[in-house]
Amino acid sequence: MKTIVPSLRLLGALALLTGLVYPLLVTAVARVAFPRQAQGSLVRRDGKPIGSELLAQNFTNAIYFWPRPSGADFATLPSGASNKGPTSSDLKKLVEERAAQWRGAHRLAVDAPVPPELLLASGSGLDPHLSPAAARFQLDRVAEARGFDATRKRALSALVSRLTEPAQFGFLGEPRVNVLLLNQALDALRSAP
C-alpha cells in the first residue's frame, strides 16, 4: 500500500497535466500566435467556410482545376497512401486508367504524357497542392469549359503564376499551387468584367 497510493496520485497528477493542462495551454498559445492556422486555415466565401487550405477537395467539374488523386477518396479519417510499390500490377493498372481519364478529359493523344503527380496519390491522399506544371497542364480544359477567349486564357495562366507559392523558406520542397485557392480565384476571375 505504501507504493500504490503515491503511484495512483502520481498517475492522476500526470494524467491531469498531460491530458488536460498541456493540451489547453498549447491550444491557447496557438490561438494567440497563429489564430488562422489554429482554426484549420479555413477558406471562406461570403463569410462561410468552403474548405481548408490544408486539405484537398475533390473537384470534378471541368470548369475547375482538379487535384491529384486521393488514396482515400478525399476522406480525412481513412487518409493515407495505398501501400502499393513500383512493382505492383494493381498500381500500374490504376496509373494507366488515370492517365487515360486525364487524356480523355483534355482531348490528348493516347500516348501524350501526363504529369506524374496527377497519376499518383500523395502520401496522405489529401495533398491540396499541385506543381505549377500540373496546373498549367489543365489550362486548356478549364479555359474551354469556361468559354474563355485568348485574353481570358492568358489571364488564367497569369493567375496560376500569381498563386504559385515558392519553396518553403526558399529551399524546402518545390513551388506549388493550392488548388482550392486557385479555384476560388478562378471564380472571382470569371465574375470580373
> Can you give the pTM of this predicted structure?
0.79
**Would you say 114 and 120 are in contact if contact means Cβ atoms under 8 Å apart?**
no
Distance CA 105, CA 99 (A): 10
Dihedral angle sign, alpha carbons of residues 78, 70, 52, 58: negative
Grid cell, residue 132, equals: 505549377
Distance CA 156, CA 161 (A): 9
Domains of the chain by residue range: 1-39, 42-191
Dihedral angle sign, alpha carbons of residues 18, 19, 24, 30: positive
What string of pLDDT tens digits covers the 193 residues of the chain?
788 999 999 999 999 999 999 999 999 999 999 888 888 888 888 889 888 888 888 899 999 999 998 877 777 777 666 777 888 898 899 999 999 999 999 999 999 999 999 998 877 778 899 999 999 999 999 999 999 988 888 999 999 999 999 998 989 989 999 999 999 999 887 655 5
